[in-house]
Amino acid sequence: MSRKLGGAVGMLGVLLLSAQAGANEVVMQFRTQEDPASPADPAVCAAAPFEVNVKLGGSVYVPEHNPKDGKVVDGGGRRVGSATACVQVTDSAFPAGQQLNVYMRYNLPEGRFTARGTCTLVSNDVPAAGLVLAGCAMRLVDVPTGFVGGSVSSTSVFNPRKLPGYATGSYYTLYAYRDGRQRDASKVTKAQEAEATARARE
Predicted structure pTM score: 0.79
Cross-strand bridge partners of residue 59: 33, 82
The span from the CA of 158 to the CA of 142, in Å, is 25
Q: What local confidence, expressed as pLDDT, does residue 94 receive?
A: 97
pLDDT tens profile 119-133: 999 999 999 999 999
- pLDDT band with cut points at 50, 70 and 90 for residue 23: low
The span from the CA of 157 to the CA of 179, in Å, is 33
| Identity at 167, one-letter amino acid code | A
pLDDT tens profile 152-171: 999 999 999 999 999 999 99
What are the C-alpha distances in Å from 18 to residues 13, 53, 135, 189?
Answer: 7, 37, 25, 13
Query: 100 near 88, Cβ under 8 Å?
Result: yes
